Structure 1
């Protein structure tokens, strides 16, 4: 990813349409689910796939090049990912800022991309009136880009990518695990031997000639697939594709790479002392098979059977019986050329990884002896069905799926064969792959242990080769990001500098909301959405951390864990199996101000899923053994947070915002001391006092109508009795009268984590949404924002930075957050301060125009998915917003004036009345921060 956003990218071979049994009938019966498409190829070799979906006035455009890290040369690794970044910066006809600049104007969902071993993709969802603009822009990437890349551009973007590596790998606990695994699993000449992100040395050594050679070989029409998915007219779109892409020249023929599964002749054991880890972690990797290999389906099922759930032998033995770790993670990772079966277990503090390894072997022996049932197999398939439907709930998800099958299976319609293969997995297939790929087979195993705890590593392990970057002042090369490139333009048969016009303006579709209320006080809101046969819901209760005793923080979070560990009539394993047999997922989460039971299920299984929700809520099991296990897991989380720079920053900043006497200054997990003091009686008292329908709201979206929903709540209506819940009143902490710098020392940190801000507004304040509008150009608008443009695009200091207002029913913070290269900590903080000081005076009419264009046009995609519709219902019920609040906010944006924006900026983003928190290496960075002008920094540890 070129920016710190998390999406779920569809991996086609992991999808499944299946239901083991019909649990109940509803008005929505099971039907075949199809993704219709049209495919054609231009004369230059460009493959184009169309999928029409007119449920929302939006369209997703995805351009995928069949090149990832596997197509790189040794010594020039990281190029595919570097290109993912470069292609957003500029092109001949879009100019500087490229697609990012246009995206802000047209209301796009934020142009982004991702790179893996085998492909690089670029994608965005936009209102459908901007489709021609997107096709024009994507064609400019493919045929009219490379001339704009200069030495200055390359130097800057290399720094951005290196910051991404530091943030995601070098400065993160266990961040080097994949590197060590792949270096030892794959031979040196294997294209999966190196990491997608590349090495810092290779990135630094990349030359402009290297870059141009890579682009001209791989970014050609005959190696690219374009997918358009959503509400559009195929005939018109085809004409646009032919116009903008048709004259781009075909490249040389690119032969397919041969499959290269690996074979190990012996087990390899390696260890690494991890500067950011506080718990030991064992990771095992077995060579397996490439994507769509017939064994890949059974391997995926095998991983689920071995590790997922209370009945799984690895979980049962290591987590429940021996209590060596809190959870198990096992999965089949298939790529285009090869695959690997992965098992990762993070032990509790100071647990000897030799014990965990022995327990893994014992678990396998138990699996061989006890096996599994048809019901176990069917339960897994039922869960996969829901995951499949959910992954197709957006036009972008459908587009990703079509591109994936086209590139790696040669046919967008491979979905039907893929599903058949997965449905055909038998118990015999599972045991075959177990014997073929795991039993008595060599593997690579790593022991990542905290500094000074090598004694916990697996015996016989060799020290892993990991390159640790040194913090050196002024080490990065200088560049001038303002330099304009001069070049000879690529010829075209028409004037490509003219941006295409908008199409017909789409009307914002606000979903129809129905609402009801039970006598107990339970509010119910719903939206009918039959695009896919799913239902999503949440039951939100006011409270969470706010209702806890300050001396025993962690009760609500611990209760959220325990309620899913069995009911009065079901053990934890029986409850888990009951949920999964429906293809459902039920989660419980405690947050600072709420306690929420949420879920997702097949529409036909919605009634029995809700029956289980009622059982979980009203008939807790209060299992002492599960209570003990939950406390162990949470204690491990608390310990690990102490070594994670981002977690440290979040927890320390919360203390600065709220002060020691406010409950919201606490970590919802609690502390090691408070966790030890919590008893089962504390959980029961919290449950009895605070979980009441009088402070609850039920929100539901999906293929069920109001009558079905109200019928599903009949049991709660009868048995869930209301009680008075008094919300505590805490005085609102005062805004700091002057700024102070605080520093938390993490010796050797490769990045400094920044958290700057103060306690601002509640979501119910009249200025709350106007302040968000004001913040768009400052730091809320992604690549349109000044913070990103200056710190990332202008200086290369960071991989990502943003600012936000995040109030709720109580005041929440205005927050600027980022991770910056360690040796520019002061420079970054000083630049942020200057941006804040100059924001109101320099805010321009053009800034206002971009803000209005983005926020108004983006309403076309505001309620596309069930998740966004559920968020809308949550806003309505939590903050008392009207059903059409999106329309009202649109009107507010249209009326926003330059003076209003400047007034809000002066009032709410004063850099001289903020907390400045830095988490980083004090030895090299602390002293320089005195130059910010806010006195001597306060060292917090």
Structure 2
């Protein structure tokens, strides 16, 4: 083996030794205090490093946050920070194209990046033995990204960003609300006047050199914070960080941005005509900036105004039937904050937003007399405390809080200071903030109305954003030079990893109550909280013909309070406890999901008992809840993805099958349901006989069994339940076209009916087979449709199943003009993979990735609960995990090929396309497949 010659000798220069990182601050663990222990360091090049060891699970989470978002962009060059979120995954000097994600996937980890107005972060969660490798990866794109940036990559990612905008903004009901609100609220020169995703014309205007200059300006180590949490040795981690990041030269100095809150000379009225069913009233009041002393008072006011079922807006407008949904929030960003109020009117009474605006104004005005009560403060403190504790349930949650606090507020412990500040707010401070920013003050009032319904708007628009004045870019500062890195080691050598970590499968206990109620649990004291799920046999399989949606409606009614407690009183009780109790319906069960802090668990379960045994089921609540559900269904029908999903369900399972209809029901059936139907369903299918209970968290088996004893008090016999297995065959293969006139994108779904769920049989094998086809970012389908063709924001495939039947599906939201070739590419990938199966390289990749994912699978209470729920629902023994691991190691290429040959035949697939029929029908004929128009409600 050749010995590496130091770079300084090769260059004939003397390289200075790196100075040791400087300890800046630290937080130690103190009994009874909410805090995240950490140490914060600073490297010579300005990189901030926060280390938060946590040895509870064999994983690490790395976050690198750059203090750059859309607020650092200039007029006419919007979307750059978000564009870089994409470019940073396209390879760097020592990491090949698409290799970053492949390496993380192969390690059994996951990763992503996010961009908002103020910062961009990149993060990975991996098994603990992979730490050095992810540090190497992140350092390479910080110091060597531009070495790999090319015009081709630039063009592909520009297309991808456009597809993302099409999917999330232009082709979604209400998708343009934030963009239009920003344009009206802020001057054109204010960086919050545009959204992080940017304008398409700006993306079209710029070139790859503009992007490189943006990187050189903002992506230096002195404008970054590296936060590491999890199972690592601090001394070793710091040494690796110094090695890989310490020699990266600092970028230009970056000044901390000054707050830029705005004020309005008068109320601005704007209107957005959109493809929506329900109109929307959306009001934003400009307030302060992040960290302002008045921020907690405004947070509390927003909570009292519209933050819960007991809030002023909800009680005045929703309970009276004047609105279907309302809310208020105070959202703070680094430069400016806004207090936003929204309301959907009840069209059965009055679709006019002008009328609704008058009602909202009256409620806001009523606060002047009401003020803040001690009860408000108690609820807020409990709610914020519980939210903070649940945020510490994962290493990622802890790291995110530390990083956000440091980057945006200069304090890793900012979240805890915010919690403390909420507890110190006085009624006088809230009243002062209300008087200063809300009462009678100008705001932006947006009316979102269905196309052609401008008579529903609050007022005739009186404001048009100024035209964007683009600067003369030729007069900008001189180009920034590249910053070469000088090292003492060879960065092209990927770090080796130590032996694989052992996943910590939760220690499990089993219990049983009367009425054959099974309990499975796992005790964990990492946070003082408990998560419980009670599965009562029933769900949508218990619905009779003509009453589809009854399970969902009954669950919604169970949340409306008890005989003793109204919905508002229930909301108050839960907020004071910092707890949540949710009722829902699933395929086979009616579910009660409970989250509680440990010290409040007895009181929380007392409320569960009351709601379950003595639900209110009042007529007024029923009429309001049913109306809300019906309007929500109609609204869903405007969403292209919902249309595609429903068309696909109908074709795969058949309209006569319950699985062929929406889980929340059919509007025609729901409209006919009565309160008597709900009471009958409740009496029959909230019976605990044969129930399954999952418990995870900071509670012992004896404690929880004693506290759940009330489940045995139910009188009545266990109900008989039917099957969900479809009786008929799926629809015949071909293209089923759902018309969405003017759609800028087409939604494609391709698939077939498949096998039922299993843990070690055909279903599990098919999942392994699919991994390289469409089961990860580097899969064949995604690399083709997104990274090569630039047709979509993302494409995938997979199997899903219940205990009786399953489905294979693939698809994507694609550019409208790429619809035909996108389908062609999907079918080509299915046919090619079916013929060959995974290659030896792909097989090894799958083995490595899937086998190491277990290290990340049991960290949070929700993950543990999901694992236990699967075990108890399918009557699994804990050793099924070992059986699956053995299958992953031994499954052959021939076995996976047989699975692909059987399930991926394009001639067996139905193809759903939701798009503009007038533009698509003729081009789709080029595929030489039958085309069937499909009409959905």
TM-score for both structures, normalised by structure 1 = 0.92
Q: State the 4+ residue runs in structure 1 displaced beyond 4 angstroms.
A: 462-467, 487-491, 733-738
Judge which range, 178-187 or 721-730, deviates more.
721-730
Q: Which residue of 2 aligns with 1:528?
A: 523
Alpha-carbon contact 1:92-1:489 (below 8 Å) kept: no
- After the TM superposition, which residues 146-165 of structure 1 pair with which residues of structure 2 at under 5 Å, given as runs? 146-165=146-165
Alpha-carbon contact 1:774-1:904 (below 8 Å) kept: yes
The reply on whether 1:439 has 2:433 as its aligned counterpart is: no
Q: Which residue of 2 aligns with 1:654?
A: 649
The alpha-carbon deviation at position 753 of structure 1 amounts to: 0.9
What SS does the aligned partner of 2:647 have? Answer: helix
Alpha-carbon contact 2:334-2:408 (below 8 Å) kept: yes
CA distance in 2, matches of 1:810, 1:370: 56
What SS does the aligned partner of 2:133 have? Answer: helix
Alpha-carbon contact 1:856-1:893 (below 8 Å) kept: yes
The reply on whether 1:570 has 2:565 as its aligned counterpart is: yes
Task: Flag structure 1 segments of 5+ consecutive residues without an equivalent.
Answer: 1-28, 468-486
- After the TM superposition, which residues 122-137 of structure 1 pair with which residues of structure 2 at under 5 Å, given as runs? 122-137=122-137
Q: Which residue of 2 aligns with 1:296?
A: 295
The alpha-carbon deviation at position 413 of structure 1 amounts to: 3.3
Q: Which residue of 1 aligns with 2:364?
A: 364
Q: Which residue of 1 aligns with 2:474?
A: none
The alpha-carbon deviation at position 622 of structure 1 amounts to: 1.3
> Which of 732, 751, 756 is residue 750 of structure 2 equivalent to?
756
Q: Which residue of 1 aligns with 2:677?
A: 682
The alpha-carbon deviation at position 580 of structure 1 amounts to: 1.7
The alpha-carbon deviation at position 147 of structure 1 amounts to: 1.9
The alpha-carbon deviation at position 415 of structure 1 amounts to: 4.2
Q: Which residue of 1 aligns with 2:494?
A: 499
Q: Which residue of 1 aligns with 2:39?
A: 38
The alpha-carbon deviation at position 443 of structure 1 amounts to: 0.3
- 1:594–1:411 distance in 2 versus 1, CA, 3 Å: same
CA distance in 2, matches of 1:153, 1:746: 32
The alpha-carbon deviation at position 696 of structure 1 amounts to: 1.6
The alpha-carbon deviation at position 730 of structure 1 amounts to: 5.1
CA distance in 2, matches of 1:488, 1:364: 55
Judge which range, 403-412 or 341-350, deviates more.
341-350
CA distance in 1, matches of 2:813, 2:528: 41
CA distance in 1, matches of 2:689, 2:455: 54
- After the TM superposition, which residues 392-791 of structure 1 pair with which residues of structure 2 at under 5 Å, given as runs? 392-462=392-462, 492-717=487-712, 719-721=713-715, 723-729=717-723, 731-733=725-727, 736=730, 739-764=733-758, 766-781=761-776, 783-791=777-785
Cα shift readout 1:896-931 (whole Å, capped 9, x = no counterpart): 111111111111222210110011111111222222
> Which of 764, 785, 802 is residue 808 of structure 1 equivalent to?
802
CA distance in 2, matches of 1:737, 1:268: 52
> Which of 869, 880, 888 is residue 885 of structure 1 equivalent to?
880
CA distance in 1, matches of 2:685, 2:534: 14
What SS does the aligned partner of 2:265 have? Answer: coil
The reply on whether 1:191 has 2:191 as its aligned counterpart is: yes
Q: Which residue of 2 aligns with 1:841?
A: 835
Q: Which residue of 1 aligns with 2:473?
A: none
Cα shift readout 1:702-739 (whole Å, capped 9, x = no counterpart): 1001011001112222x123522222135535555852
- After the TM superposition, which residues 65-76 of structure 1 pair with which residues of structure 2 at under 5 Å, given as runs? 65-76=66-77
Alpha-carbon contact 1:755-1:918 (below 8 Å) kept: yes
Q: Which residue of 1 aligns with 2:145?
A: 145
What SS does the aligned partner of 2:747 have? Answer: strand
CA distance in 2, matches of 1:463, 1:819: 34
- After the TM superposition, which residues 819-838 of structure 1 pair with which residues of structure 2 at under 5 Å, given as runs? 819-838=813-832
The reply on whether 1:103 has 2:104 as its aligned counterpart is: yes
Q: Which residue of 1 aligns with 2:266?
A: 266
CA distance in 1, matches of 2:830, 2:140: 35
Q: Which residue of 1 aligns with 2:14?
A: none
What SS does the aligned partner of 2:51 have? Answer: strand
Judge which range, 342-351 or 424-433, deviates more.
342-351
The alpha-carbon deviation at position 375 of structure 1 amounts to: 1.4
- Equivalenced residue count is 889
The alpha-carbon deviation at position 118 of structure 1 amounts to: 0.7
Task: Flag structure 2 segments of 5+ consecutive residues without an equivalent.
Answer: 1-29, 468-481
Alpha-carbon contact 2:268-2:463 (below 8 Å) kept: no
The alpha-carbon deviation at position 333 of structure 1 amounts to: 1.2
Q: Which residue of 2 aligns with 1:483?
A: none
Q: Which residue of 2 aligns with 1:16?
A: none
CA distance in 1, matches of 2:240, 2:114: 25
TM-score for both structures, normalised by structure 2 = 0.93
What SS does the aligned partner of 2:497 have? Answer: coil
Q: CA RMSD of the aligned region, Å?
A: 1.9
The alpha-carbon deviation at position 373 of structure 1 amounts to: 2.2
The alpha-carbon deviation at position 642 of structure 1 amounts to: 1.4
Q: Which residue of 2 aligns with 1:93?
A: 94
Cα shift readout 1:84-143 (whole Å, capped 9, x = no counterpart): 00000111111111311111211112x200001110000010000000000000000100
Q: Which residue of 2 aligns with 1:818?
A: 812
Q: Which residue of 1 aligns with 2:342?
A: 344
The reply on whether 1:278 has 2:266 as its aligned counterpart is: no
Cα shift readout 1:641-676 (whole Å, capped 9, x = no counterpart): 111111111122111111121122122333332122
